Amino acid sequence: MKAGKIALVTTGSLAGMLAAALLAGAVWLFNLNTDSVGYVVTDTLEVASDSYAFASTDLDVNDDFAWAYDRGPKLRVRGESDTPLFIGIARSEDVEHYLAGVAHEQVTDLDLDPVALTTERSAGAAAPAAPANETFWAASVQGSGLQTLEWDGGYGQWSVVIMNADASPGVAADVSLGAHVPHLTWIAIGGAIGGGLLAVTAVGLILLGARIPGRPALAPAAPAA
């Protein structure tokens, strides 16, 4: 019975680790910062640069989650500045062409807890054209006060650009990012239920393995007369 005990305890331990991962994931999902319309949103981040723009690196939207999205995830970018602000999203190749030779901040990483941007300066001496005059934007907003860009998604590589509406240098804004995750609550509930069931199963397997008696040792053979 020793092999059976080991198998039950090992299987129970593995089930327990998976249960812990599911429960931790469910707790994380429940604690995400979501708004009333289902967007997972970041805290507000202050960004500032003496260059002409902030531009994200390639946002690669593939069809791995086509079961949940028709065109990829819906994104939202909000920004507010003391001067009229422009926010746009476009194909990465179009943004690279538009900002070629223009000094701007390339966003290379986004941390969510706490929210922070990592940027690299792209040097240049050229001045960009007014962004609203360009026709390649998939979605864009501009104006004074709080600006909200909502984008319904699309597969491919995309870049988000934030700059002054008049294309002047010196960008300073309060920015928050959001993504719409459908069925988020039900995913979290499913993870919690699955984790709970696995935890009960794990405990049962470990207890069962602990209760199985080991094989008794064989008595020594009596010496021949």
Q: Output the CATH code of domain 39-180.
A: 2.60.120
pLDDT of residue 29: 52
**154 exposure class (CB count in 10 Å sphere: 0-12, 13-18, 19+):** middle
pLDDT band at 39; cut points 50, 70, 90: low
The whole-angstrom separation of Cα 79 and Cα 209 is 58
pLDDT of residue 87: 96
Q: Tell me which of 120 and 196 has the higher pLDDT.
A: 120
The whole-angstrom separation of Cα 23 and Cα 221 is 54
pLDDT of residue 157: 86
The one-letter amino acid code at 61 reads: V
Boundaries of every domain in the chain: 2-29+185-211, 39-180
Say if residue 116's pLDDT is above 60. Answer: yes
Q: Tell me which of 200 and 50 has the higher pLDDT.
A: 50
Say if residue 9's pLDDT is above 90. Answer: no
The whole-angstrom separation of Cα 91 and Cα 155 is 10
Q: Tell me which of 152 and 27 has the higher pLDDT.
A: 152
Residue 199: which residues within 8 A CB-CB, separation 6 or more? Answer: 15, 16, 19, 20, 23
**3 exposure class (CB count in 10 Å sphere: 0-12, 13-18, 19+):** exposed
pTM of the model: 0.65
Alpha helices in the chain (DSSP H): 2-30, 92-98, 184-211
pLDDT in tens, 139-178: 999 999 999 998 887 778 899 999 999 999 999 999 988 7
pLDDT of residue 26: 55
Say if residue 206's pLDDT is above 90. Answer: no
What number is the average pLDDT over the span 86-105?
95
The one-letter amino acid code at 127 reads: A
pLDDT band at 18; cut points 50, 70, 90: confident
pLDDT band at 67; cut points 50, 70, 90: very low
Out of 68-72, 161-165, 197-201, 213-217, which region has the weakest mean confidence (pLDDT)? 68-72
pLDDT band at 65; cut points 50, 70, 90: very low
pLDDT of residue 69: 47
